[in-house]
Chains A and B, each alone.
Chain A
Amino acid sequence: MGSYIPSTREERLAMLESIGMHSFDELYADIPEALRLKDGLSLPSGLSELEVAQKIEEIAGKNTRFSHIFRGAGSYQHYIPAIVKQVTSKEEFVTAYTPYQAEISQGLLQSIFEYQTMICELTGMDVSNASVYDGATAAAEAAAMCRDRKRGTICVSASVDPKTISVIRTYCFGSGAPLVILPEKNGLTDMESWNAMDTSSIACLIIQTPNYHGLIEDGASIANAVHNSGAKLIASCNPIALGLLETPGEFGADVAVGEGQPLGLPMGFGGPYLGFMASTKDMMRKLPGRIVGQTADVDGKRAYVLTLQAREQHIRREKASSNICSNEALCAMTAAVYLSAMGSAGLEKVAASCMANARYLLEELTALGFTRKYTGEFFHEFVTICPCDAAVLSEKLAAHGYLSGLVTGQTEMLWCTTEMNTKSEIDGLIAVIKEVLA
């Protein structure tokens, strides 16, 4: 049986006696007898470290690890530089708590300050928080930031990832905010519907670009229309795409959010990930969660500290705009190390590869009779109508070690490529598809 208690039973008995007690039971004298667990926990006995290692490896072995991944839809396989894993495994970072004691937490605080700066650079926004749970909760939190007494309705484009919409819907069930889904047209946010709508009570429109279908939305026109209606624009972005594409800051979003997982975090069956959030300066005090600020210490040295804390739950309690406490600090550090290792040239290279590979894949699929469902410009994902049953194709590809695009309909598939999917890998995939179709 394993245990992480340093003191032996004898030592503990001696400690117990030194405080005038004779049995461990006495420590629990306040717990009424009727509430005591009589027969102990119905769990297996503890295991040695070797047994745990073997067991967990065996369980991990029951998953199918695909060598070739062409699926995205919210979780992306990118190359993770070795230094990223090394840095974020440092025990000081891994085992620290939230940096409330600034004097012994400058390393963490500075790393978050650097992360905030990089997110601002990436999104073109003024201020960033220290992260929230994931991209979907970032969108939901951003929506809450935009609501006020006069405008309480939240509007989401139908081209946003359905998982994000689902999370926003759940948060709205909580807050009581009315939720409106803005229709899409040819896979893009339909701004004609927006213009035809009574938008007087709408607080914000949430779009995603590249959107769920991989298409790049017309951010500037959307921002214009939304602002003309007196509402705010929240743009959910892929951080890799921001290495190349127009930023939310440039096209006029009020809040930029997104899933930070592509920035050095493994797919990891869905988490932990990283929700990034950045806004205009005007909305800084509405940002939820932790924010690190620069200041000076008593000797005038530059130093960093958690700031604007009076927004947060531990001070504002029921009047806080969000309840977030723990965020995804180590994941934010991961993103910062990734971005530092890549630099803007590296990031651009990754983004350009993603796009080029996707177009090559599309071309090859088209030659096999696949057609695109939507015609708009895309980043690294696109939807095809397959010349066969999509689920059957997916299964057959899986048998060959290929994780296909995500099946989104009877014959529809949402494909994704990253810098990991080289030409020869794509050629391999195409060869297998040919075989399947034959």
Chain B
Amino acid sequence: MNYPETLRYSKSHEWVKNEEGMVVIGLTDFAQSELGDLVFVNLPEVDDTVTAGEALGDVESVKAVSDIFSPVSGTVCEINEELLDHPELINEAPYDAWLIKVKDVTDEEELITAAEYETHCQSESNG
């Protein structure tokens, strides 16, 4: 399982990266492995607002659908359209397959470091 140190994480398994005044959001390696083969991603539209702690979209596997929670509040300024046709990219390279970019961030969930997140995942898979 991969936990890049350059990223920050939410306890609901999203990763966050700051990039030129925007926040980039994706799903973690742990998340994609738990969810299994993803078959579709529902993303918000550009200019939609997202709220920290609330669902920004969801991902579908064959037999399940899981919410993606936004770690920040702000306005969506870009979505990764490639995922709409190729959700498998999340399974293949979760840290490259970003979901959305958010600008005008006003609020942020409590985010944790790679080491803290790894501990969090270990406790979840033992639980």
Cα distance A308–B65 in the bound complex, in angstroms = 11
* Stretch binding the partner chain, chosen from A309-317, A384-392, A425-433: A309-317
Number of A-B contacts (CB under 8 A): 18
- Which residues of chain B (43-63) have a CB below 8 Å from chain A? 58, 60-63
The answer to whether B40 and A309 have CB atoms under 8 Å apart is no
* Interface membership of A319, Cβ < 8 A: yes
Question: B1 near A: Cβ within 8 Å?
Answer: no
Chain B neighbourhood of A309, CB < 8 A? 62-63
Tally A residues with Cβ within 8 Å of B: 7
Question: A interface, by DSSP: helix, strand, loop or mixed?
Answer: helix
Q: Which residue of A lies closest to B39 (CB)?
A: A310
Q: What residues on A are CB-neighbors of B65 within 8 Å?
A: 310, 315-316, 319
A310 CA to B62 CA in the complex, in Å? 7
Whether A85 sits at the interface, judged by CB under 8 Å, is no
Whole-angstrom CA separation of A315 from B39 in the bound complex: 14
**Minimal beta-carbon separation of A103 from chain B (angstroms):** 16
List the A side residues contacting B64 at CB < 8 Å.
Answer: 310, 315
Q: Mark A308-338, 1 if CB is under 8 A from B, else 0.
A: 1110000110010000000000000000000
CB of A285 within 8 A of CB of B40, answer yes
Residue of A nearest to B64 (CB): A315
In the complex, which residues of chain B have a beta carbon less than 8 angstroms from the beta carbon of A316? 65
- Cα–Cα, bound, A285→B63 (Å): 15
A314 — nearest CB in chain B belongs to which residue?
Answer: B63
Please report the C-alpha to C-alpha distance between residue A159 and residue B62 in the assembled complex, in whole angstroms: 41
Chain B contacts for A285, CB-based, 8 A: 40
How far apart are B99's CB and chain A's nearest CB, in angstroms? 17
Within 8 A of B (CB), among A121-160: none
Please name all residues of chain A whose beta carbon is closer than 8 Å to the beta carbon of B40 when the two chains form the complex. Answer: 285, 308, 310
Nearest CB of chain B from residue A190's CB, rounded to whole Å: 33
Q: Which residues of A contact B39 (CB under 8 A)?
A: 310
Given A310-B65, A315-B63, 16 extra CB contacts under 8 A: A285-B40, A308-B40, A309-B62, A309-B63, A310-B39, A310-B40, A310-B60, A310-B61, A310-B62, A310-B63, A310-B64, A315-B64, A315-B65, A316-B65, A319-B58, A319-B65
Q: What are 18 pairs between A and B in contact, CB < 8 Å?
A: A285-B40, A308-B40, A309-B62, A309-B63, A310-B39, A310-B40, A310-B60, A310-B61, A310-B62, A310-B63, A310-B64, A310-B65, A315-B63, A315-B64, A315-B65, A316-B65, A319-B58, A319-B65
A residues with a Cβ closer than 8 A to B are 285, 308-310, 315-316, 319
